[in-house]
Amino acid sequence: MNPSSNPSPTSDEKLMSALAHFFGTLAALIVWALQKDKSRFVKFQALQALTFDFAVTTLLGTVFGCFFILALLGMSGSMFVFMEQATSVNDFGWAFALPFLFQPVIFACIFPFSLLLTLVRLVASISVLNGREFRYPILGPWLERFLET
């Protein structure tokens, strides 16, 4: 399946492809379901956006699941250490306040990644709005080969 066989996508095809890229999994699924038989350009772009979102969701779930387990183990361990070494009642306050200090750390890890994800979606959307083929670096060629077989 070579999406570039369609010489120039229409404005509706460009808009549908941009919506699929920018608004995430649900939008990509809806666009693909509605347009898969009408336009090869939109079908490929929506499938690519859907696959990208699935890959990102899987990666994020794995990474943040591991991060959550490590943070939970770290909080539990540090609370036990604080409680063992506590010499006064004020020291127990730190043991119970420590879990709340991990929230800014988690935010600091999530925020740059979400900005990068938004930037990638914006670039993809602008590219297809301008009528150019957009392919994610590894995912695009793989998906194209997969659809040809």
* CA 7 to each of CA 16, 18, 38, 134, 136: distance values in angstroms, whole numbers, following the listed order: 17, 18, 15, 14, 20
The answer, as to whether pTM is greater than 0.85, is no
What is the model's pLDDT at position 72?
78
Give yes or no for a contact between 10 and 139, defined as CB atoms under 8 angstroms apart. Answer: no
Domain locations along the chain: 7-130
For residues 74 and 77, what is the distance between their CA atoms, to the nearest angstrom?
Answer: 5
Cα gap 143→8, rounded to integer Å? 21
pLDDT of the chain along its 149 residues, tens only? Answer: 554 455 689 989 999 999 999 998 999 999 999 998 999 999 999 999 999 999 999 988 898 888 788 777 877 776 676 667 766 666 666 666 666 777 787 788 788 988 999 999 999 999 999 989 899 888 888 888 888 86
